[in-house]
Amino acid sequence: MIGSHLLSVLLAAGDTAHASDHGHHSAHFPVALPTEGLGYAGLVLALPLIAMILNGVYAISGVRSKLPAWTTVACLGTAFAVVLNLYLKADIEHPVVVPLFEWINLSWGTGAISAPFGLYLDSLTLLWMLFVTGLGTLIALYASEYMESDVGPAYCRFFGGVSIFLLAMGCLVMGDNLLTLYLGWEGVGFASYMLIGYHFTKPSAVAAAKKAFIVNRIGDLGLALGIYLTWLHFGTLEYSKLFEMLQADGAMAAAQQAMAGGWEVAIIPFLLMAGAFGKSAQLPFYIWLPDAMEGPTPVSALIHAATMVTAGVYLLVRTFPMLELHPAAAPTVAWVGGATALLAATIGMAQYDIKRVMAYSTVSQLGYMFMGVGVLSTFGAAAHVFTHAFFKAVLFLTCGAIMHGFAGQLDLRVLRGLRHVKGWRIVVWTMFYASLCLAGFPIISSGYWSKDVILAEAFANGRPILGGIGLLTAGLTAYYTFRVWFRVCCGPKPDDHDLAKMMGDDHHGDDHHDEGHGEEDHHHHMPHAPKWAVNLVLSVISLAAIGSILLVPEHGWLEHMVAKSSGAGGVGANHHDLPADAGFWADPHGWMKYVASTVGLLGMAVAAWLHLFNRSAADRLRATLLASPLKAVVRAMENKWYVDELYNALIRMPLKIKGHALHMLDRYVLDILVVDGLGRLPKMIGRTLSPLQNGVLQSYAASMAGGVILIALLILVLPMLLDLLGGAA
């Protein structure tokens, strides 16, 4: 009986197959068609969901083995296989939409808000999903060993969090409309919150998790408002329809849309940008990312280096046609990216915690990617995302291995000579190769190829100052990267005594459960080298980083992938046909190879001088600088330019004070003074008049007589008074 109507209401899937009635292929890039037969793409989302649920079940049923890890690795690995299969099977020339189910679908009269839950499969989606699921699988494998001391509920929680992350990231990248993207956007934010706060007994971890979520929410508000405006102006949130509208009448369509819509349309790219800057840790929102290193290192590698933080770049490449809605939008992105790159690099130079160095370097490299989008090179941006994902993952994972082996020790002033220690070979040399990539070592490093594209495009786009900043940052990057490697891996060979002294005071960065540790206490005094899973993952990702060299160069696979997507407008946008006799300096793509190599090598040379050949020179230099008038700058760099303090003083504290003030206002003025005051009014009137009730008969009589007289007077005098007043008026 209950079945009939109510169930149909609750289950109202209605017309699930959401109509998409266009088959128009535009000049720039193909517009999506709905398709049959690719429904299994939904598995990419379903598998992490299954892993998540299973991890929850394991947690409840008290599984105390590595089962959660293997489940997660299996699910994510299968998801990767599905993505690979999709890549091979799907025709990347023609984006397709795979409808899954109806999510939000409202219509009234002529208006509608429609956000079907569908997958938008084009080359950009596949590119992103390939490295997201691939790295996700590998890092989950790495974590199976890294987190092994936490086997139990916490282990389930960790892999549950990783699964949620992959699910949300899948929604973000594969969703076919902006609302699904927003769903994933907040979802990865939550996963990041859970995983940063993994060591929940540590107040600093809880604070970092909170900070990450809140700072991201600020950007998210921008994104949400951008989505509202997009819906208001374009009437749809689905990419295929949006792109069709923006491209319908040729390249100028976006500009025309902007003209027609006024400032409310022109502001859309800036709002989307705010979301991107939040998620990708750019100025002014970057402050959450360094703190996010409180999370376990695999999380830092996966979420806060390789995948989630590139969501902002993805968003801007995905909505690249909308960037043209305002002429200042792209330059803004470029400048914010450039400024962040430089700022973060300067902070990274002055940090001693190697994981923090890597965190700032991530912020800085993300700055490059935004610079790439801003100078209209979506190819450069995507290429750098792709290469960076691999080598930065390796860097974090090696840091993690060191941290794991040395009981939480991350100080580059303490660690040394790892090269000479048995069992660390793979860590040392994969780290070396990844450092080469980050530093942009010529030819053999993947970072060199992708970074060069961005720098060259900056010059080709007519932004030499920005290009100059990029080059300077490249030099600084090379310096701080090798500062870490030389300090940690080189130097005199440590003996057992030295190694014991290097140990941190923390077991695996977390010591909140102490059962079963008593007997292996003696292990704490000596570092332990990584085992097979860590070494395997490091080797595989390093190989992938090497392999990515083949995919990245111009006119290669990656450029093709981007050119077939919504980022097509940013492939070859700055390309001008040069006359045959143009000089060497006319084509930035030509000379950048040499200049960037030189700058990178210079940075490495300085690092080698200060930290390899002459290991005390750096300290002497620091002492000299601190004695010089540059003292303030050095101090500021070491203290991260006091940005956190500034935000705290300018935003957080005033808000907190406002909160307290409003609370006081609410309690004392509104409630006690006004409300209770009004409530007390009748009581007060009663109090004032109560002496009249004195029980004496005569006074009652007197007041009665007085009342009668008063009434009589009113009746007699009032009309006269009114007459008088009326007469006067």
Q: In the bound complex, what is the minimum distance in angstroms from residue 109's beta carbon to other proteins?
A: 6
Near other proteins by CB under 8 A, which window of 90-98, 215-223, 420-428, 714-722? 215-223
Near other proteins by CB under 8 A, which window of 200-208, 521-529, 579-587, 719-727? 200-208
Q: Residue with structure tokens 């800085």?
A: 364
By C-beta, is 616 or 698 nearer to other proteins?
A: 698
* Interatomic CA distance for residues 278 and 226, integer angstroms: 14
* Interatomic CA distance for residues 255 and 262, integer angstroms: 11
The answer to whether 121 contacts other proteins (rule: CB under 8 A) is no
The answer to whether 656 contacts other proteins (rule: CB under 8 A) is yes
Written as six digits, the tokens of 46 are 């379903």
Q: In the bound complex, what is the minimum distance in angstroms from residue 613's beta carbon to other proteins?
A: 46
Q: In the bound complex, what is the minimum distance in angstroms from residue 357's beta carbon to other proteins?
A: 27
- Residues numbered 254 to 273 that lie near other proteins (CB under 8 A) are 264
The answer to whether 286 contacts other proteins (rule: CB under 8 A) is no
The answer to whether 24 contacts other proteins (rule: CB under 8 A) is no
By C-beta, is 674 or 722 nearer to other proteins?
A: 674
The answer to whether 10 contacts other proteins (rule: CB under 8 A) is yes
Q: In the bound complex, what is the minimum distance in angstroms from residue 110's beta carbon to other proteins?
A: 6
- Residues numbered 301 to 340 that lie near other proteins (CB under 8 A) are none
Q: In the bound complex, what is the minimum distance in angstroms from residue 190's beta carbon to other proteins?
A: 6
Find out whether 474 and 595 touch, Cβ atoms under 8 Å. Answer: no
The answer to whether 671 contacts other proteins (rule: CB under 8 A) is yes
Q: Closest Cα to residue 309, out of 360, 346, 375?
A: 360
Q: In the bound complex, what is the minimum distance in angstroms from residue 5's beta carbon to other proteins?
A: 5
Among 29, 82, 102, 540, the residue binding other proteins under the rule CB under 8 A is 102
By C-beta, is 661 or 722 nearer to other proteins?
A: 661
The strands making up 96-108's β-sheet, listed across from edge to edge, are 33-34, 96-108, 111-121
Q: In the bound complex, what is the minimum distance in angstroms from residue 169's beta carbon to other proteins?
A: 13
Q: In the bound complex, what is the minimum distance in angstroms from residue 118's beta carbon to other proteins?
A: 14
Q: In the bound complex, what is the minimum distance in angstroms from residue 670's beta carbon to other proteins?
A: 5
Among 122, 145, 176, 186, the residue binding other proteins under the rule CB under 8 A is 186
Angle, CA 581 vertex, CA 580 and CA 583 arms, to 5°: 115
Q: In the bound complex, what is the minimum distance in angstroms from residue 106's beta carbon to other proteins?
A: 5
Find out whether 148 and 403 touch, Cβ atoms under 8 Å. Answer: no
- Residues numbered 34 to 63 that lie near other proteins (CB under 8 A) are 59-60
Q: In the bound complex, what is the minimum distance in angstroms from residue 683's beta carbon to other proteins?
A: 12
Near other proteins by CB under 8 A, which window of 197-205, 241-249, 427-435, 520-528? 197-205
The answer to whether 609 contacts other proteins (rule: CB under 8 A) is no
By C-beta, is 57 or 546 nearer to other proteins?
A: 57
* Interatomic CA distance for residues 79 and 100, integer angstroms: 17
The answer to whether 679 contacts other proteins (rule: CB under 8 A) is yes
The answer to whether 27 contacts other proteins (rule: CB under 8 A) is no
Written as six digits, the tokens of 634 are 């050095």
- Site size toward other proteins, by CB under 8 A: 82
Listed in sequence order, the residues at least 6 apart from 431 whose beta carbon sits closer than 8 Å to its beta carbon are 394, 395, 398, 485, 488, 489
Q: In the bound complex, what is the minimum distance in angstroms from residue 157's beta carbon to other proteins?
A: 9
User: β-pairing, 96-108 with 33-34?
Assistant: parallel
Find out whether 335 and 423 touch, Cβ atoms under 8 Å. Answer: no
Q: Which residues pair with 112 in a beta bridge?
A: 107
* Interatomic CA distance for residues 464 and 453, integer angstroms: 14
Q: Closest Cα to residue 193, out of 216, 170, 173, 172?
A: 216
By C-beta, is 543 or 655 nearer to other proteins?
A: 655
Q: In the bound complex, what is the minimum distance in angstroms from residue 417's beta carbon to other proteins?
A: 37
The answer to whether 647 contacts other proteins (rule: CB under 8 A) is no
Rg (CA), the chain: 32
The answer to whether 221 contacts other proteins (rule: CB under 8 A) is yes
The answer to whether 231 contacts other proteins (rule: CB under 8 A) is yes
- Residues numbered 370 to 429 that lie near other proteins (CB under 8 A) are none
Encoded amino acid at 597, one letter: S
The answer to whether 658 contacts other proteins (rule: CB under 8 A) is yes
* Interatomic CA distance for residues 272 and 159, integer angstroms: 31
Among 38, 57, 218, 472, the residue binding other proteins under the rule CB under 8 A is 218
The answer to whether 648 contacts other proteins (rule: CB under 8 A) is no
By C-beta, is 1 or 720 nearer to other proteins?
A: 1
Written as six digits, the tokens of 202 are 């540590």
Q: How many CA atoms lie within 13 A of 206 on its CB side?
A: 4
Among 555, 576, 620, 660, the residue binding other proteins under the rule CB under 8 A is 660
Quickly list DSSP for 603-646: HHHHHHIIIII-TTHHHHHHHHHHHSTTHHHHHHHHTGGGHHHH
Find out whether 558 and 127 touch, Cβ atoms under 8 Å. Answer: yes
The answer to whether 675 contacts other proteins (rule: CB under 8 A) is yes
Q: Which residues pair with 104 in a beta bridge?
A: 115
Find out whether 358 and 499 touch, Cβ atoms under 8 Å. Answer: no
The answer to whether 698 contacts other proteins (rule: CB under 8 A) is yes
Find out whether 180 and 171 touch, Cβ atoms under 8 Å. Answer: yes
Listed in sequence order, the residues at least 6 apart from 454 whose beta carbon sits closer than 8 Å to its beta carbon are 368, 369, 371, 372, 375, 377, 380, 381, 384, 470
The answer to whether 654 contacts other proteins (rule: CB under 8 A) is no
**SS (HEC) of 257-315:** HHHHHCHHHHCHHHHHHHHHHHHCCCCCCCCHHHHHHHCCHHHHHHHHHHCHHHHHHHH
The answer to whether 294 contacts other proteins (rule: CB under 8 A) is no
By C-beta, is 131 or 239 nearer to other proteins?
A: 239
Q: In the bound complex, what is the minimum distance in angstroms from residue 261's beta carbon to other proteins?
A: 12
* Interatomic CA distance for residues 245 and 436, integer angstroms: 44
From residue 569 to residue 588, the character string flagging contacts with other proteins as x (rule: CB under 8 A) and all else as - is --------------------
Among 201, 256, 614, 624, the residue binding other proteins under the rule CB under 8 A is 201
The answer to whether 4 contacts other proteins (rule: CB under 8 A) is yes
Q: In the bound complex, what is the minimum distance in angstroms from residue 702's beta carbon to other proteins?
A: 5
The answer to whether 182 contacts other proteins (rule: CB under 8 A) is yes
The answer to whether 193 contacts other proteins (rule: CB under 8 A) is yes
* Interatomic CA distance for residues 26 and 24, integer angstroms: 6
H or E element, residue 118: strand 111-121
CB neighbours (10 Å) of residue 604?
24
Among 37, 203, 516, 726, the residue binding other proteins under the rule CB under 8 A is 203
The answer to whether 684 contacts other proteins (rule: CB under 8 A) is no
